[in-house]
């Protein structure tokens, strides 16, 4: 029997990047996985059903959760939907700020709101946050604020729903080779090759490279699993040492 047999999982933002690889990993280990995403899957879901869902729309989120649960307990929820826009509070249009909050943070609230009542036999939630909830670079006001919101939400939900046997944690990735990060790199690269930007971003991490999505997915899977039975209300940096380092050169 596979280790996650009998687990019913739903991954928002599961059509690409960290969400996709997490969905694949959970499925390989025997979980029943449903993927909800606005975009078409850009990788192999190994037959997992994909539901088109705009996480800004409460009714669509509710419908996705209802379909995934399918009248049974929803054991695991992963929230990996996310977008990245650059700007300061001055240069970020209000609509753009609202959009980033809505996709990155409010969507997690909606997903949990729909999922928790279907976790009657207990469950686990993992939210994909970012190191940018704790420290940031220039021009990430909306994105960093949305990730900070997620961190507070993780703690609030963990405290409120511990009595329901629901654990809630987050992962805080550093730079990961995903379509989102590649799109960001593309917007900064000018005439240079995109791989060079990724390598440069990677070099700011002590491990000297960007992560692969699977390296984050492994941690998400562990946090969902029964092996993490005493972990709740916490955030786990998966950042190649990024936040352990002060940018002071001797």
Residue numbers 8-37 binding ligand BMA by CB under 6 A: none
SS3 assignment, position 159: helix
Burial of residue 248 (number of CB atoms within 10 Å: 0-12, 13-18, 19+): exposed
Residues 143-182: x where in contact with ligand BMA by CB under 6 A, - otherwise, as a string: ------------------------------xxx-----x-
| Closest CA relative to residue 60, chosen from 43, 84, 81, 83 | 81
CB count within 10 Å of CB 117 equals 11
Which residue, 8 or 132, is less far from ligand BMA as judged by CB? Answer: 132
Nearer Cβ to ligand BMA (64/181):
181
| HSE toward the beta carbon, residue 100, CA cutoff 13 A | 22
Q: How far is the CB of 118 from ligand BMA (least distance, A)?
A: 29
The answer to whether the beta carbons of residues 16 and 37 sit under 8 Å apart is yes
C-alpha–C-alpha distance, residues 116 and 168, integer Å: 11
**Sites for ligand BMA among residues 184-203 (CB under 6 A):** 184, 201
Contact between 64 and ligand BMA per CB under 6 A: no
104 and 83 Cβ atoms separated by less than 8 Å: yes
| Helix-then-strand count for the chain, H and E | 8, 7
Q: Which is nearer to ligand BMA, 131 or 223 (CB)?
A: 131
Considering the complex, state which of residue 58 and residue 206 has its C-beta at the smaller distance from ligand BMA: 206
Which residue is at the shortest CB distance from ligand BMA?
Answer: 130
**Angstrom distance (rounded) from CA 19 to CA 93:** 28
Is position 143 annotated as part of the catalytic site? yes
| 84 near ligand BMA, rule: CB under 6 A | yes
**Segment lying near ligand BMA (by CB under 6 A), choices 3-11, 94-102, 128-136, 186-194:** 128-136
**Residue 181: CB minimum distance to ligand BMA, A:** 5
The reply to whether 130 sits near ligand BMA by the rule CB under 6 A is yes
> What residues act catalytically?
143
Q: Which residues bind ligand BMA (CB under 6 A)?
A: 84, 130-132, 137, 173-175, 181, 184, 201
């Amino acid at each position: 029997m596979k280790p996650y047999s009998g687990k019913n999982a739903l991954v928002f933002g599961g059509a690409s990047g960290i969400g996709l690889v997490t969905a694949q990993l959970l499925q390989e280990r025997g979980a029943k996985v449903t993927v909800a995403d606005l975009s078409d899957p850009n990788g192999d879901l190994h037959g997992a059903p994909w539901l088109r869902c705009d996480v800004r729309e409460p009714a669509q989120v509710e419908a996705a959760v209802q379909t995934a649960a399918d009248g049974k307990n929803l054991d695991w929820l992963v929230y990996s939907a996310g977008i990245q826009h650059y700007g300061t509070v001055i240069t970020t249009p209000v609509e753009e700020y609202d959009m980033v909050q809505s996709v990155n943070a409010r969507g997690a609230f909606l997903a949990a709101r729909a999922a928790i009542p279907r976790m009657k036999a207990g469950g686990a939630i993992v939210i994909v946050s970012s190191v940018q909830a704790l420290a940031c670079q220039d021009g990430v006001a909306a994105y960093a604020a949305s990730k900070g919101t997620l961190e507070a939400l993780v703690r609030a939900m963990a405290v409120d729903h511990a009595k329901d046997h629901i654990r809630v944690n987050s992962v805080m990735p550093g730079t990961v080779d995903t379509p989102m990060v590649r799109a960001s790199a593309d917007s900064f690269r000018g005439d240079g090759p995109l791989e060079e930007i990724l390598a440069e971003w990677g070099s700011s991490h002590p491990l000297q490279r960007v992560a692969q999505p699977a390296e984050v997915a492994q941690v998400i899977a562990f946090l969902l699993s029964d092996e993490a039975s005493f972990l709740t209300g916490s955030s786990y940096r998966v950042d190649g040492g990024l936040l352990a380092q002060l940018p002071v050169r001797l």
